[in-house]
Structure 1
Amino acid sequence: MSKRSADAESGGAPLKGGDRPEPMDIDDNKDMGEFEDEFEDEFESEDEILEAGVDGRPDAEREAEEAAAGGMEVDNGTFIVGRNKLEEGQHLAPDLGTYELLHNLSTPWPCLSFDIVRDGLGDKREKAYPATMYAVAGTQAEASKDKENQLMVMKFSGLSRMERTDDNDSDSDDDDDDEQADPILESRSIPLTSTTNRIRAHQVPSQDPSVPGQTFVATMTESAQVFIHDITPHLTSFDNPGTINKPVSTIRAHKSEGYAMDWSPLFPGGKLLTGDNDGLIYMTTRTDGGGWVTDTRPFQGHTSSVEEIQWSPQEASVFASASSDGTVRVWDIRSKSRKPAITVQVSSVDVNVMSWSRLTTHLLATGDDNGVWSVWDLRQWKGGEEKPTPIASFNYHKDQITSIEWHPTDDSMVAVAAGDNKVTLWDLSVEIDDEESKDTAGVKDMPPQLLFEHIVEHAKEVHWHPQIPGTLVATGTEFSVFRPIPVVYGVAVK
């Protein structure tokens, strides 16, 4: 694998892993205790975080203040993309006041991949603080300590909102002591023998509404094996004692490791696709009796590794795959030939990630090795040699795109993570008229659709929380849980 092979300086570790922190002395099946948010130490680079807020002052007034300060180029205002110019000597700086929620926490080893697990605490928990959420992740221990790898079932609780100092903040409640609760990370672990390349959760609803359904987790490992675990006991064990169980199924069809994996959202019982570095895709289905069967006939067509798989959110028999051969291919599982129905060359380099909009189902977003991410209208895809034109394309990130995901309830919002340590939020509905375009000359490298930028060292994956609006979780060297203040986005400068 070219893009995930280690640099000479990284000691042979997969590129996706990044620099590893020292392992922590933690009992993974006990409360991991409180963690600190040492923001002062975490945000030090020049181009760190795009911030929210509005300055509202005329340029002349701001320039006069700078002159009165003795020529020091300091501006504590807010930079609005597409409206303000970044003057020579100015640079972007974080403003923690633009976050409603921000917590960073570490696990014993970095995690290349994670997934959020829906819970029974309710939907649209926009102002429910302190927040609680559940997730699963797979670790990447040092090569010499493979036996320390684990599948982690995690509970984040006590996630309080940022302290508000604005007296005009109508949402603040000074009498609510719970808002300043101490954040806690608890975890349950399932031992694994190798690094987890990709992990995805699937929840099977119960026939009886009073009884919780099952939660299965598929873990695609560096060993080329895919493990399916029933983690329902681990989730319930946070409140009631449970037992650690072995995989309910192990998929051994792959002869090489892989990173592509997705559960069908339209097959409640469980239908899983997995793709490997040989370009092969296998389908595993849960039977009526509760067992798991892997089709021995792979889907074949890619000429290089399969990097991403996404089931159609609308058609139960259709899925798309992205590859390091630069193509996206659309498949129909009913095809006896196991060949793609449509093949489109979307990039001249590796296509690392892909996301299919669940709201506007003809939209597909892709991200490649050059840091370019694009949005495609599938209605324009006819196949053949002619390459379609993306309806939007952005070359903002300075390193490979490592994750991309549509907002679950807003089909104009997209979250993107990249190897340049940035997680960015985008609004595709933003347009600039002729008058506003006069102010964009100094910010040509910042597209007006760029709303917010957050720093996660060695960013690998980002997911919107489906039940806590506007809240995201990202993983890299550590986990970052954050929510920008809603509605207004901008960029702080100093």
Structure 2
Amino acid sequence: MSKRPAEISDDAPDALKSGERPFQAQDGDHEGDFEDEYEDEFESEDEIFEAGVDGRPDEEREAEEREGAMDVDQDTFIVGRHKLSPGETLAPDLSTYEMIHTLEAPWPCLSFDIVRDNLGDDRKSYPATVYAVAGTQAARGREKENEVMVMKLSGLSRMDREGEDESDEEEDDDDENADPILETKSIPLNSCTNRIRVHQTPQATAAKPPTTLTATMLESGQVMIHDITPNLSYFDTPGTTVSPQQNKPVYTIGAHKKTEGYAVDWSPLHPSGRLLTGDNDGKIFATTRKDDGTFVTDSTPFMGHASSVEELQWSPSERQVFASASSDGTVKVWDVRSKAHKPAVSVQVSSTDVNVLSWSHQTSHLLATGADDGQWAVWDLRQWKPSANGSATASTPAPVAAFNFHKEQITSVEWHPTDDSIVAVAAGDNTLTLWDLAVELDDEESRDTAGVKDVPPQLLFVHYMEQVKEAHWHPQIPGTVMATGGSGFGVFKTISV
């Protein structure tokens, strides 16, 4: 991040948290341009100094350069640690981004999820297209304006850079520099969304797309399941309409009895759909979609946490296993086949609330957690064993990695979908950080970075975003991250991942 004087406009819109809409929704559908303040900006170096041009021995010159670099590093501005001087604001170093776009929503969205599409995997050409869903948090007294937003983000171009080799753009589309566009279809809700997650059933035939389901955990305590397949078809199939009947939930979970919660996850190994939901009373319910499309929720909850269930995730490799994180500071591992509905293993991973967890899809014995004290850690589940007397409580093993870089609560943590060493972390200090756990410094590199205070070598990138709440890697566009916060959404890709 770089710093620049603040520019204040008399007609600047109020922040989203004030409850003012940046644009007015019409008939539940939205279409508009991104508010892309970074478009077509870039930075470049005008001068290049070559080694040895001053006539001094290389050793003397390199020693001086290292000393100067350390002085600069010690003064590096770190978001969340350092305060801006009066009249200053943060501006991104655009030379570090391959792509960056921002957009506003009618209301803040604390949770969203990315929808897989049929445009192909491992996409690297531009402009990019992203499909997603999000749930809104309308102001008190205006709860009836809440909605599930089914979104298509298109025309996402990469940064315009001078001097770039044209051969690098051979694979890009002719309209690479098209203006970014946001299209939405709205599903009305009567309550704020705490968490939303997507599940797609297998494609039935070439002509019939997969069924796409959303599970929305509401502030009212209900969990609503919608079939958004027709909403997605609206964007790309001419003539498609979505009736009010199609916008009604296909199933509503009322087992939480008006107790709100934040934990929702679909099983990646259950094709028809199996859902976990957890609430502030510490109860976890399982809901299964049967082959005929109907749903059933187990009447007996999984119990074991002494406080609210903050996060749930199914194992990526074992169909009957899931993990839960709680404000009681523990992470528990469960087997749904247990008739007692009790955890198999329980580990105290923090003295504060454990807000989020993420299970690595590449190395399934690795689990990442994020807590209220700002620490996030990686655990080897092979070290988690039940105690000798058969109870779920185990001695607390040490994490394989732990980081205290963030000084505010961790709000999101997610492993890279194809690289088991890369992790994205969001925190209450208005930063979204990318980490590479495979980084190890040799002796020479350690000397060169000795002056960088409180910055672990595994830290790859810091992205500033006001009130960032949740971040997800795009599973089909390598290195692309989408995030949501109090000021709207951001989609970006760095040159470092």
TM-score range, shorter chain: 0.7 to 0.9
Report deviation, 1:385: 4.5
Counterpart check, 1:98 vs 2:118 = no
Compare relative contact order (CA 8 Å, sep 6+) and give the higher one, 1 or 2. 1
Counterpart in the other structure of 1:283: 286
Contact persistence 2:19–2:139 (CA under 8 A) = no
Question: Structure 2 vs 1, CA of residues 179 and 337 (structure 1 numbering), >3 Å: closer, same or farther?
Answer: same
Counterpart among 399, 421, 424 of residue 433 in structure 2: 424
Deviation sequence 1:226-279 (CA, Å, 0-9, x none): 000001111111132232421000000003100001000000100000000000
**Which of 298, 312, 316 is 2:315 aligned to?**
312
Contact 2:436–2:458 (Cα < 8 Å) also in 1? yes
Q: CA separation of 1:30/1:440 partners in 2, compared to 1, >3 Å: closer, same or farther?
A: same
- Partners of 2:261 and 2:321 lie apart in 1 by 21
What letter is aligned with 1:38?
Answer: E
Closer/same/farther in 2, CA of residues 161 and 111 from structure 1, 3 Å limit: same
Once residues 492 and 172 of structure 2 are traced to their aligned partners in structure 1, the CA distance between those partners, rounded to angstroms, is 23
Structure 2 distance, partners of 1:85, 1:308, is 42
RMSD: 2.8
Q: Which amino acid aligns with 2:255?
A: A
TM-score by length of 1: 0.84
CA deviations on 1:415-469 (whole Å, 9 max, x unpaired) are 0111111111000000011222122322131111000111111000000000111
The residue number in structure 2 matching 1:241 is 241
Sort the Cα spacing of 1:431 and 1:57 in 2 relative to 1 into closer, same or farther, 3 A. farther
Are 1:210 and 2:220 an aligned pair?
no
* Contact 1:125/1:469 (<8 A) preserved: yes
1:460 aligns with 2:469: yes
The 5 A counterparts of 1:87-486 are 87=73, 89-91=75-77, 94-127=92-125, 129-168=126-165, 170-172=167-169, 177-238=174-235, 239=237, 240-244=240-244, 245=246, 246-255=248-257, 256-383=259-386, 384-477=393-486, 478-486=488-496
Contact 2:460 2:496 in 1 (8 A): no
Deviations 1:46-102 (A, max 9, x none): xxxxx999x99699999x9xxxxxxxxxxxxxx99xx85534555476321221111
One-letter identity of the residue aligned with 1:336: K
CA distance in structure 2 between the aligned counterparts of 1:104 and 1:162, rounded to whole angstroms: 13
CA spacing shift, 1:254–1:434, aligned 2, 3 Å? same
Kept in 2, the 8 Å contact 1:130–1:179? The answer is yes
Counterpart-to-counterpart distance in 2, 1:336 and 1:485 = 49
SS in 2 for 1:179: coil
> Structure 2 matches for 1:28-47, cutoff 5 A?
29-39=28-38
Matching residue's letter, 2:37: E
C-alpha spacing 1:301/1:88, structure 2 compared with 1 (3 Å): closer
338 and 96 in structure 1: CA distance in 2 versus 1, 3 angstrom threshold: same
Moved over 6 A (4+): 55-62
8 Å contact 1:85–1:441 — kept in the other structure? no
Counterpart contact for 1:421–1:455, Cα < 8 Å: yes
Would you say the 8 A contact 1:236–1:242 is kept in 2? Answer: no
Task: Report the Cα offset of residue 209 of structure 1.
Answer: 3.1
How far off its partner does 1:38 sit? 1.4
Give the whole-Å Cα distance in 1 for the aligned partners of 2:193 and 2:416: 25
Specify the code of the residue in structure 2 equivalent to 1:367.
G
Deviation of the 1:168 alpha carbon: 4.3
Instruction: Provide the secondary structure at the position in 2 that maps to 1:171.
Output: helix
Whole-angstrom distance in 1 between the partners of 2:74 and 2:278: 47
Contact 1:322 1:329 survives alignment (8 Å): yes
- TM-score (structure 2 length as normaliser): 0.84
Which segment drifts farther, 464-473 or 90-99?
A: 90-99
CA drift at 1:396 = 0.6
Identity %: 63
Question: Comparing 433-442 with 316-325, which one deviates more in the overlay?
Answer: 433-442
Rounded Cα–Cα distance in structure 2 between residues aligned with 1:227 and 1:59: 63
> Contact 1:233–1:243 at 8 Å: present in 2 too?
no
Go from structure 1 to structure 2 and tell me whether the alpha carbon gap of 1:391 and 1:333 turns closer, same or farther (over 3 Å shift).
same
Give the structure 2 partner of residue 48 of structure 1: none
**Paired residues, what number?**
444
5+ residue gaps, structure 1, are 1-16, 43-50, 65-78, 488-494
Point out the more displaced range, 205-214 or 23-32: 23-32
Q: Following the alignment from structure 2 to structure 1, what is the Cα–Cα distance between the partners of residues 76 and 336?
A: 54
- Unmatched runs of 5 consecutive residues or more in structure 2: 1-14, 57-64, 79-90, 387-392
Name the SS of the counterpart of 1:352 in structure 2.
Answer: strand
Cα distance in 1 between the residues matched to 2:477 and 2:73: 37
In 2, the alpha carbon distance for the partners of 1:133 and 1:321 equals 29
Q: Secondary structure at the match of 2:17?
A: coil
Once the two structures are TM-superposed, the CA of residue 211 in structure 1 deviates from its matched residue by: 1.5
Shift of 1:288: 2.2
d(CA) in 2 for partners of 1:187 and 1:381? 44
- Equivalent residues in 2 for 1:49-68 (5 A)? none
The amino acid across from 1:311 in the alignment is W
Aligned mates of 1:165, 1:35 — CA distance in 2: 23
DSSP-derived class of the 2:195 partner: strand
Where 1:441 maps in the other structure, the secondary structure is coil
| Residue 35 of structure 1, CA deviation | 2.0
